[in-house]
Every structure is written in structure tokens, then in C-alpha cells.
A and B are shown apart, each in its own frame.
Chain A
Amino acid sequence: MPLSEQQIERYSRHIILEQVGGAGQEKLLSSKVLIVGAGGLGAPAGLYLAAAGVGTIGLVDADSVDLTNLQRQIIHHTSDLGVEKVASARNKMQAINPEVTVETYHIKATADNIRKIIPGYDFVIDGTDNFPAKFLINDACFFERIPFSHAGILRFEGQLITVLPRETACYRCIFHSAPPAGAVPTCSQAGVLGVLAGVIGSLQATEAMKYLLDIGDLVTNALLTYNALTLEFRKVRLNRNPDCPLCGENPQITELTDEEQTICDLNDSKH
């Protein structure tokens, strides 16, 4: 569909970019991105992708806005306390850009439901906080062959990798399976600098847009690590792991299942 005059004005700073142009903007408008977790990482990703005119954005989150979220989850306001995160996030995204369709899934992502949700999306952003969800997204995207961006943040550090399933190193190539119970501190136990979520979540949105526009080089076969204290980015080169239980030479994971929840206690784990 050709761009309207209003769209040409709204997206003029994109359209003027040689690598985007009118055709690229039209591509964004017809694209679909799924964000799992409407929290710290999902907040900037959702806001920027909506502003960018990504036509359909899905949000998966079973949680409601809590006072402790507001230090970093900038899509949620104080007036949203107690509101479903997917509804709170949708309101802000549509306030920025009413022409974006926001599909909301007020559910915890599980092996049963995620394979019904992700087909049809062009790209998935993992904005979850827990390892079972991260492995679930990795595995679901592998089976459905949908590229995705993994990210994690903790204390003053963040990490990011984009996975093109069956082509580039996946999350399980690096982290075989979930760590033992209690081994890994969560943000709630260890703390996290709020703005880290903004930095890393924005990078995830950048990767999504590059993939949709087919421009630049994605952070594939490398883990990008960021240290806020030294303000250093490092790209750790990786190869696909022949021992990977999912995409290796002798895969042990042949169907989608839920990993056991292993971090802290998470009796209210949402994904």
C-alpha cells in the first residue's frame, strides 16, 4: 500500500535514509514483531518499534504493573499500577502511533501456547527475565524457523545475540540448558541499573528493524556484551556448537517442552 501524505511526514526521517526509503518504510508497516515480556527490555523495544511504524506488534506478558517495575520499565507509568502490562504497554504504543496494531496476549508463554502465537510473526524479541522462558523462545523459534533477539541484563551488564535458527549459533549453543536452582541471581536479587534495560532493549529493536529492512549486519554468531561501568561493548565471536542439544549434530531436543523453573523461587514467574 502506498504511503499517505501523513505517513510520508511522520516517517520522513526514515524515508530520507538511503537504506530505508519509502519502500523500507512500507516494509516496516507490513511487518509483524512479537515481544515476549512487556518489562524492562520490552518497554523501549515496544515504544521504538511502534514509533517506527512496525505495522503489527504482539505483546506477551501475564503480569501486572508493580511499583518495583517503574525504575526501568519506562512504558509503564505510576498511574498504571495494577494494570495488565500488555494493556498498559499497548496504550503507550498506540498513543505514540495510532496506526500500529498491537496484539496483546495476557498469558504466560508456555510450550503449549507459544507455537500457536509466533507463526506469522517475522521476528521475535525475547524480553523475558527467566531462563525457562528464554530457552522456550529459543526452541520455539527454532522449530518455527523465526529469527529472534535474545537479551539479558543484570547489575551493570547486558548481553545480546540475534539468532537465525538453523543458520547461526543459538542460545543453547552457548548455554546448553538452564542453570541449577539458585545459581543465577535475578534482577530482583542482584539489582539492575534501570537504564541498562533501555540500552539493551533499544538494541533489540535495532536488530529487529535491521532484519525487517534487510540492512547491515546482525549480531549473529557473536554475543554482544555491554558493561555500563566501563561503557564498553565487546563482541564475543561464537560458532554454532556441534554439541548443541537443539541445533547440533545429534539433537536431544526434538519437540517443544517447558524447562523447569530454576531461578530463585519464582512462585509468580510470569513466563
Chain B
Amino acid sequence: MNLIVNGNETNVDGELTVNELLTEQNVKMPEMVSVELNGQILRRSEFESTKLNEGDAVEFLYFMGGGHASERATD
């Protein structure tokens, strides 16, 4: 099945759910990712039940902080 993942054409074997795609794409911490499927943000609770279809466009959007880091917290 052909998908567009983060703008790149990607071929995956067989049927996949969003959760399975996250695993397949080596996303190690899915809890830090929001998933957009064909322009709509998915609920986290739907990751497991949502099956992907041929031609779907999937975007992984990552939580990013930065800017003003509190470095001393880890000293």
C-alpha cells in the first residue's frame, strides 16, 4: 500500500493502523507525536482503531519545546 508520510511517498506491506505505522516508521515515543490524517488531527484514542487506506497522507507532528531551556534542572 502506498502512503504519503511526512510528504514522502512510502510503501508499506499490507494493512496498517496508525499505531502500526508509528511502529513501522520507528517512532520510539508515540506519545510525543500528534498525527494528522488527510488534513485532520486524529484523537490519540483513535490511533489503534484507525486503518490506513491507499494514498492516505499522514503527518507526524512532534512536540517541541526549546527556546528557553531550563538546563539546570538536569545538573
Contact = CB atoms under 8 A, between A and B. Distances in A.
Q: How large is the interface on A (under 10, 10 to 19, 20 to 34, 35 or more residues)?
A: 35 or more
B41 interface: yes
Contact of B63 (A127, A152, A241, A265): A152
Contacts, number: 145
A66 B71 contact: yes
Contacts of A271: 68
Interface in B41-75: 41, 43-44, 59, 61-74
Given A40-B68, A173-B41, A241-B41, A236 B61 contact: yes
Interface stretch (A7-15, A48-56, A184-192, A251-259): A184-192
B67 to A, nearest CB: 4
Nearest to B30: A183
B59 A236 contact: yes
A208 to B, nearest CB: 15
Interface in A231-271: 234, 236-239, 241, 243, 263-271
A87 B69 CA distance: 18
Contact of A188 (B31, B34, B69): B69
Nearest to B46: A243
B59 to A, nearest CB: 5
Contacts of B7: 234, 236
Given A189-B74, A243-B41, A269-B73, A179 B32 contact: yes
Contacts of A126: 67
A142 interface: no
A42 B61 contact: no
B68 A38 contact: yes
Contact of A268 (B31, B39, B61, B72): B72
B36 interface: yes
Given A153-B64, A153-B66, A68 B32 contact: no
B63 to A, nearest CB: 5
B67 A263 contact: no
Interface of A: 37-42, 61, 63, 66, 68-69, 73, 126-131, 134, 151-154, 157-159, 173-176, 179-180, 183-184, 186-189, 192, 196-197, 200-201, 223, 225, 234, 236-239, 241, 243, 263-271
Interface of B: 6-7, 29, 31-32, 34, 36, 39-41, 43-44, 59, 61-74
24 contacts: A39-B68, A40-B68, A40-B69, A41-B67, A127-B68, A128-B68, A129-B66, A152-B67, A153-B64, A157-B62, A158-B64, A176-B44, A183-B29, A183-B63, A184-B32, A186-B65, A186-B66, A186-B69, A186-B70, A186-B74, A196-B66, A234-B6, A236-B61, A270-B68
